[in-house]
Amino acid sequence: MKNQQLLDDLRLEIKQELAKITKVNSPIIWSKIHDSKNNLNMKSYLRIEALIIKKIIAEELTPSAAIPQLEQELDFR
């Protein structure tokens, strides 16, 4: 139960951070989680969320630090 609460808290923090991204400050992530009509694509959102969680765990980052790093990595793919 405690682990689930930690995961829920982390996912909420990621959600709050992803709500701050725009086409200007994180164009790659923004385009991956939105469709052509600027609506949130939940399937893609969950993929990006999983990548962020992996980055947070592997590199001991906060969500606010992991998102720009992920943006930069996606830019090189």
Is the pLDDT at 68 greater than 70? The verdict is yes
pLDDT at 1: 67
User: Does some domain include residue 1?
Assistant: no
Is the pLDDT at 25 greater than 80? The verdict is yes
Q: Give me the mean pLDDT over the 22-50 stretch.
A: 96
User: Does some domain include residue 3?
Assistant: no
User: Does some domain include residue 71?
Assistant: yes
Q: Give me the mean pLDDT over the 28-35 stretch.
A: 96
Q: Give me the mean pLDDT over the 35-50 stretch.
A: 96
Burial zone of 45 (CB within 10 Å; 0-12 exposed, 13-18 middle, 19+ buried): middle
Q: Domain limits at 38?
A: 22-75
Is the pLDDT at 64 greater than 90? The verdict is yes
Number of domains in the chain: 1
User: Does some domain include residue 12?
Assistant: no
User: Does some domain include residue 14?
Assistant: no
pLDDT at 76: 87
Q: Nearest-CA neighbor of 9 among 51, 58, 47, 62?
A: 62
Give the residue ranges of DSSP H helices in the chain. Answer: 2-18, 27-33, 42-59, 63-75
Q: Are the C-beta atoms of residues 54 and 65 closer than 8 Å to each other?
A: no
